[in-house]
Amino acid sequence: MKRKEFLKLTGAGSVLFSSGIVSIFSTALGGCNKDNMMGGMSGIAAGGGITEGDFQQALPIPVTTGTNTALAAQPATAVLKGRTSYSVLGYQANSILGPSFRVNKGDIVNVNLTNNLSEASNIHWHGLHIPAAMDGHPANLVNAGSSFNYQFTIQQRAGLNWYHPHPDMLTAKQVYRGLAGLFIINDPEEAALNLPSGEFEIPLVIQDKRLADTSLTYNPTMMDIMSGFLGESILVNGKTSLYQNIKSQTYRLRILNGSNARIYNLAFSNNQSFTIIGNDGGLLRNPVSVNSILAGPGERLDILVDFSKANTGDQIFLISKVFGGGGTTQGTKQFKILKFIVTQKVNVPFIIPSTLSAIVSYIASQATLTRNFDISNMGMMGMHHTINNKSYSAARIDETVTANAVEIWKFDNSMGTEPHPMHVHGVDFQVIERTGGRNTIIASEGGWKDTVLVMPGETVKVIIPFENNKGKFVFHCHNLEHEDDGMMLQYQLI
């Protein structure tokens, strides 16, 4: 739904969605007709009700491509569940996801995008530090029937990034229907660690979809826009209910939460620990052992899982555990994501390095300016998600930043009732403080990040060294329904 249409439908009722009242109003809507814009509680129900399936299909691994690639955003068909074909969007024929790029630091990348859709699109290279003209700004569109050549040099450290469309008010639909893919950068620092590779390095793109019909329809109700478009089926690498055969040794899992809105509390069904070695911005300074970790939309995790204690025939599930503080629609039920089956008992020990990467830490005193961003959405002006009570406008620069400045950006959700994963284009940042809610910096938030999950009741401070990549960029909530609903602003680096 377009923002201006949404405003006409809902402007008079914005006060209902102030703090505390939203959950009451959401409950009251439960009896509305699902086809009514005020009803459609399927998204709310899907928040707790996951259809797991039988986990009888093998995990597919996306094909890998390199520095010179042609992509076509196009209607496609793909088998997502069982043997059923769905009408989707893809960057390649018969696929819901694009190829996984694997490149090296210093490489020059050339990607020609042809838009075979009936609407405008583009590509945002999420996590890449590239010129503004190549970043996939919502105003830099590739019209239907046209093409555009993205060219840029990889000048950053190793890490797991991704790519997806970013047209204003169409991002959520195009990503949900299948346009996304991984972008992996390698460098000598990472290579020197001799981390698990080949069959022992497994990429996992986790998404949720509504698979009740075969059109993969994106038709958010007002409540979906408020909370996020949640699906009852969990897909990994474009298919649902999967298994992966493994040996009893250490695996590296490269995980992207590519969902529109769903947050995952990732863990294993046997409650075994695993080791976080990287996040959005690449390797951490030191490994961190955990039993579970939250991942919001747009966030990435690089983890090592030691299956050496498992025996042949053991079945271990990657799951999402219950978690609190996720608003009225998320974290209420545990569910399975992917089944690992141990098919061979081996003795291949792997010692995790105690030091992974050299990272310079920034401290608050280095910042010359602090910018405050209210993301609580108290009152919901015009029923839109906003930042500092402003909705996105391509014609307005909201923040002007000086090149090479070091700034603190404070995302304040202290009075909010919904989670907001906040993403800043064109930079990485370090998380330096969280107050309220979880009240701590969590294990996956060390090192460099480009997306940070701000739960209801929380305020998060990040410190950003902006360097010299001048131009116009956006920052926004990566709940894609919130983003398309206006929760996005622009900054200009001068």
On whether the CB atoms of residues 297 and 421 are closer than 8 A, the answer is: yes
Check residue 326 and give its pLDDT. 86
> What gap in Å lies between CA 331 and CA 223, rounded to an integer?
17
Q: Would you say residue 141 lies in a domain?
A: yes
Predicted confidence (pLDDT) at residue 21 exceeds the cutoff of 60: no
Mean pLDDT of the chain: 91
Per-residue pLDDT of 149-159, as tens digits, reads 999 999 999 99
Q: Would you say residue 95 lies in a domain?
A: yes
Q: Would you say residue 345 lies in a domain?
A: no
The token duo for 462 is 């990040």
pLDDT (average), residues 428-448: 97
Check residue 399 and give its pLDDT. 98
pLDDT-wise least confident of 27-31, 43-47, 436-440, 458-462: 27-31
Domain enclosing residue 401, as ranges: 364-493
Which of 191, 212, 240 corresponds to the end of one domain? Answer: 191
**CATH of residue 449:** 2.60.40.420
Other Cβ atoms within 10 Å of 155 Cβ, number: 13
Block residue for tokens 């928040």: 47
pTM above 0.75, yes or no: yes
Give the SS3 label for residue 227.
Answer: helix
Which of 171, 191, 211 corresponds to the end of one domain? Answer: 191
Q: Would you say residue 274 lies in a domain?
A: no
Q: Would you say residue 386 lies in a domain?
A: yes
Label residue 15 exposed, middle or buried (CB < 10 Å: 0-12, 13-18, 19+). Answer: exposed
Nearest alpha-carbon partner for 414 in 451, 384, 374:
374
Q: Would you say residue 287 lies in a domain?
A: no
Which of 166, 191, 216 corresponds to the end of one domain? Answer: 191
How do strand 335-344 and strand 315-320 relate by DSSP bridges?
A: antiparallel
On whether the CB atoms of residues 145 and 121 are closer than 8 A, the answer is: no
List Cα–Cα distances, 260 to 11, 212, 228, 230, 479, in angstroms. Answer: 24, 18, 7, 8, 6
Model confidence at 24, in pLDDT bands (50, 70, 90)?
very low
Q: Would you say residue 466 lies in a domain?
A: yes
Task: Rounding to the nearest 10 degrees, give the CA dihedral for residues 95, 109, 302, 357.
Answer: 170
Number of domains in the chain: 2
Q: Would you say residue 269 lies in a domain?
A: no
Q: Give the sign of the dihedral formed by CA 397, CA 410, CA 467, CA 426.
A: negative
Per-residue pLDDT of 382-408, as tens digits, reads 568 999 999 999 999 999 999 999 999
Per-residue pLDDT of 217-256, as tens digits, reads 999 999 999 999 999 999 999 999 999 999 999 999 999 9
> What gap in Å lies between CA 61 and CA 91, rounded to an integer?
15
